[in-house]
Amino acid sequence: MSRKPVAIGSDHAGYEMKGLLIDELRALGHQVLDLGCDGPESVDYPDLGKAVAEAVAGGQAERGVVVCGTGIGISIAANRNLRVRAVVCHDETSARLAREHNDANVLALGARLIGSEVAKACLRVFLATEFAGGRHAARVAKLGG
């Protein structure tokens, strides 16, 4: 992975987990582009998903991480951008396969569904795993972007 920043954003439900993931990113030596939210007050997840998607699609970030209560809503928002392949992951295997097979560039996590250690493990695997290419490349190309 290049040394461009990793963009990260969350809604209020993911705010605390976002902080833990920022700490993990920095511990791993990554620069962080924190796109909000900035506190536990209620915010709209589509705005944060869109901001992270735009940073990844626009090249300001190599990959992105989005967090909401389930990871679902914010991943839908991020996936509105045709250059983004956001995936909700619940374990290391789903994070690894999302990168290897789908060339996912945004990791979505559900703060109300997984614990902080699982979230950090998903993040580490997501960042360390390269796209396998080969037979998967033509399929990913059909996704657009």
101 noted as active-site residue: yes
Q: What is the mean pLDDT of residues 88-113?
A: 98
The answer to whether residue 69 is domain-embedded is yes
pLDDT tens readout for residues 114-128: 999 999 999 999 999
Confidence band of 3 (pLDDT split at 50, 70, 90)? confident
- What is the total count of domains within the chain? 1
12 noted as active-site residue: no
Model confidence at 1: pLDDT above 70: no
The answer to whether residue 1 is domain-embedded is no
Q: Which residues form the domain of 65?
A: 6-141
Q: What is the CATH number of the domain that holds 18?
A: 3.40.1400.10
Active-site choice (12, 30, 37, 68): 68
The answer to whether residue 109 is domain-embedded is yes
Confidence band of 130 (pLDDT split at 50, 70, 90)? very high
Model confidence at 144: pLDDT above 70: yes
The answer to whether residue 74 is domain-embedded is yes
pLDDT tens readout for residues 33-62: 999 999 999 999 999 999 999 999 999 999
When the pLDDT of each residue in the chain is averaged and rounded to a whole number, the result is 96
C-alpha to C-alpha distances, 64 to 28, 72, 81, nearest whole angstrom: 15, 15, 13
Q: What is the mean pLDDT of residues 94-101?
A: 98
The CA distance from 63 to 108, in Å, is 11
| Residue type (1 letter), 45 | Y
The answer to whether residue 59 is domain-embedded is yes
**Would you state the structure tokens that stand for residue 1, as one six-digit string?**
């992975």
Position 2 scores a pLDDT of: 61
The answer to whether residue 81 is domain-embedded is yes
111: exposed, middle or buried (Cβ count in 10 Å: 0-12, 13-18, 19+): buried
